[in-house]
Structure 1
Amino acid sequence: MKISMPLRMVGKTYSDAINALNSLQSNYANIMAIRESGIRKNEMALLEMVEWTRRIGYSTSDFNKLNIVHITGTKGKGSTAAFTNSILGQYKEQLPKIGLYTSPHLKTVRERIRINGKPLSEEKFTKYFYEIWNKLDKSSSPLDKFPHMTPGSMPGYFKFLTLLSFHTFLQEGCKSCVYEVGIGGEYDSTNIIEKPVACGVSLLGIDHTFMLGDTIEEIAWNKGGIFKHHVPAFTIENQPAAGMKVLKERARERDTIVTTVPIFDALDKIELGIAGSFQKTNASLAVALASQALTSMEVLENPLGTTENTSLPKEFLSGLKNTLWEGRCQTIDRGNNTWYLDGAHTKDSIEAASTWFSDVVKDSQKPKVLLFNQQSRDANALIHFMNGKIAPEVRFDYVVFTTNVTWDSGSYSVDLVSMNTCKEDVDELKVQKSIAKEWTKIDNDSKVFVSPNIEHATNLIEGLCDESLDIYVCGSLHLVGGLLVVFDGK
Structure 2
Amino acid sequence: MRLSVPLRMSTRPARSYSDAIAALNSLQSNYANIMAIRASGDRKNKMNIWEMQEWSRRIGYSTSDFNKLNIVHITGTKGKGSTAAFTQSVLQQYGDQIRKIGLYTSPHLKSVRERIRINGQPICEEKFSSYFFDVWDKLEATSSPLDNFPHMTPGSKPGYFKYLTLLSFHVFMQEGCDSCIYEVGVGGEFDSTNIIESPTACGVSLLGIDHTFMLGETIEEIAWNKGGIFKKGSPAFTIAAQPTKGLEVLKERAQERETSLTEVPIFDSLKKIKLGIAGDFQISNASLAVALASQHLVRLGVLDQNLQLAPDTELPQRFVDGLTSAKWNGRCQTVQDGAITWLIDGAHTKDSIEAASGWFKSEVIKTPRKKVLLFNQQTRDAEALITNLHKCLLPEVAFDRVIFTTNVTWKSGSYSADLVSMNTSKEQVENLEVQNALRDTWLRLEPHAKVDVVANIESAIELVKAYNEPVEVVVTGSLHLVGGLLVALDGKD
Structure 1: distance between partners of 2:71 and 2:161: 18
How big is each residue's C-alpha offset from its partner over 1:7-36, in whole Å with a ceiling of 9 and x where there is no partner? 997330000000000000011011111111
From 21, 36, 47, the counterpart of 1:44: 47
In the TM superposition, what is the alpha-carbon distance from 1:355 to its structure 2 partner?
1.0
1:153 alignment counterpart: 156
Structure 1: distance between partners of 2:251 and 2:351: 22
Please provide the CA RMSD for this pair. Answer: 1.3
1:431 alignment counterpart: 434
- The runs of at least 4 consecutive aligned structure 1 residues that moved more than 4 Å come to 1-9
In the superposition, relative to structure 1, how do residues 6 and 97 fare at CA in structure 2: closer, same or farther (>3 Å)? farther
From 448, 456, 459, the counterpart of 2:459: 456
SS at match of 1:114: strand
Please give the residue correspondences for 1:88-99 in structure 2 after superposition, counting only pairs within 5 Å: 88-99=91-102
Please give the residue correspondences for 1:25-44 in structure 2 after superposition, counting only pairs within 5 Å: 25-44=28-47
Structure 1: distance between partners of 2:462 and 2:141: 48
Structure 2: distance between partners of 1:323 and 1:44: 36
How big is each residue's C-alpha offset from its partner over 1:344-382, in whole Å with a ceiling of 9 and x where there is no partner? 111111111111001111111111100001111111100
Structure 2: distance between partners of 1:111 and 1:350: 24
Give the partner amino acid of 1:470.
E
SS at match of 1:40: coil
SS at match of 2:343: strand
Structure 2: distance between partners of 1:66 and 1:309: 33
Structure 2: distance between partners of 1:398 and 1:257: 50
Gaps of 5+ in 2: none
SS at match of 2:103: strand
The answer to whether the Cα contact below 8 Å between 1:2 and 1:170 also exists between their aligned partners in 2 is no
Give the partner amino acid of 1:486.
A
2:275 alignment counterpart: 272
Structure 2: distance between partners of 1:261 and 1:469: 40
In the TM superposition, what is the alpha-carbon distance from 1:252 to its structure 2 partner?
0.1
1:470 alignment counterpart: 472
In the TM superposition, what is the alpha-carbon distance from 1:6 to its structure 2 partner?
10
Give the partner amino acid of 1:278.
F
In the superposition, relative to structure 1, how do residues 6 and 261 fare at CA in structure 2: closer, same or farther (>3 Å)? farther
Give the partner amino acid of 1:171.
Q
Please give the residue correspondences for 1:220-299 in structure 2 after superposition, counting only pairs within 5 Å: 220-299=223-302
How big is each residue's C-alpha offset from its partner over 1:258-307, in whole Å with a ceiling of 9 and x where there is no partner? 10000101101210000000000000000000000000000000011110
In the TM superposition, what is the alpha-carbon distance from 1:467 to its structure 2 partner?
2.6
1:406 alignment counterpart: 409
SS at match of 1:93: coil
| 2:123 maps to 1:120 | yes
Structure 2: distance between partners of 1:368 and 1:248: 45
Give the partner amino acid of 2:462.
N
In the superposition, relative to structure 1, how do residues 111 and 6 fare at CA in structure 2: closer, same or farther (>3 Å)? farther
TM, length-normalised to structure 2: 0.98
How big is each residue's C-alpha offset from its partner over 1:96-142, in whole Å with a ceiling of 9 and x where there is no partner? 11000000000000000000000010000001000000000111000
SS at match of 1:92: coil
The answer to whether the Cα contact below 8 Å between 2:53 and 2:63 also exists between their aligned partners in 1 is yes
TM, length-normalised to structure 1: 0.98
From 110, 114, 135, the counterpart of 1:107: 110
SS at match of 1:222: helix
In the TM superposition, what is the alpha-carbon distance from 1:445 to its structure 2 partner?
2.7
Give the partner amino acid of 1:482.
G
Structure 2: distance between partners of 1:201 and 1:420: 28
Structure 2: distance between partners of 1:232 and 1:311: 22
In the superposition, relative to structure 1, how do residues 307 and 2 fare at CA in structure 2: closer, same or farther (>3 Å)? farther
Structure 2: distance between partners of 1:312 and 1:102: 26
In the superposition, relative to structure 1, how do residues 5 and 269 fare at CA in structure 2: closer, same or farther (>3 Å)? farther
In the TM superposition, what is the alpha-carbon distance from 1:195 to its structure 2 partner?
0.2
| 2:320 maps to 1:317 | yes
Please give the residue correspondences for 1:162-181 in structure 2 after superposition, counting only pairs within 5 Å: 162-181=165-184
In the TM superposition, what is the alpha-carbon distance from 1:391 to its structure 2 partner?
1.1
Structure 1: distance between partners of 2:7 and 2:177: 18
The answer to whether the Cα contact below 8 Å between 2:3 and 2:59 also exists between their aligned partners in 1 is no
The answer to whether the Cα contact below 8 Å between 1:204 and 1:216 also exists between their aligned partners in 2 is yes
In the TM superposition, what is the alpha-carbon distance from 1:5 to its structure 2 partner?
7.1
Give the partner amino acid of 1:414.
A
From 432, 435, 443, the counterpart of 1:440: 443
Please give the residue correspondences for 1:178-217 in structure 2 after superposition, counting only pairs within 5 Å: 178-217=181-220
Structure 1: distance between partners of 2:135 and 2:487: 28
The answer to whether the Cα contact below 8 Å between 1:402 and 1:451 also exists between their aligned partners in 2 is yes
Give the partner amino acid of 1:301.
D
In the TM superposition, what is the alpha-carbon distance from 1:38 to its structure 2 partner?
1.0
In the TM superposition, what is the alpha-carbon distance from 1:387 to its structure 2 partner?
1.1
2:358 alignment counterpart: 355
Structure 2: distance between partners of 1:470 and 1:396: 10
Structure 2: distance between partners of 1:93 and 1:468: 45
Please give the residue correspondences for 1:302-381 in structure 2 after superposition, counting only pairs within 5 Å: 302-381=305-384
How many pairs were matched up? 489
The answer to whether the Cα contact below 8 Å between 1:2 and 1:171 also exists between their aligned partners in 2 is no
Gaps of 5+ in 1: none
In the TM superposition, what is the alpha-carbon distance from 1:337 to its structure 2 partner?
1.2
SS at match of 1:42: coil
The answer to whether the Cα contact below 8 Å between 2:291 and 2:309 also exists between their aligned partners in 1 is yes
Please give the residue correspondences for 1:53-92 in structure 2 after superposition, counting only pairs within 5 Å: 53-92=56-95
Structure 2: distance between partners of 1:459 and 1:159: 37
In the superposition, relative to structure 1, how do residues 397 and 213 fare at CA in structure 2: closer, same or farther (>3 Å)? same
SS at match of 2:93: coil
Please give the residue correspondences for 1:124-135 in structure 2 after superposition, counting only pairs within 5 Å: 124-135=127-138
SS at match of 1:185: coil
SS at match of 1:74: coil
SS at match of 2:342: strand
How big is each residue's C-alpha offset from its partner over 1:384-417, in whole Å with a ceiling of 9 and x where there is no partner? 1011111111111100000000001000000000
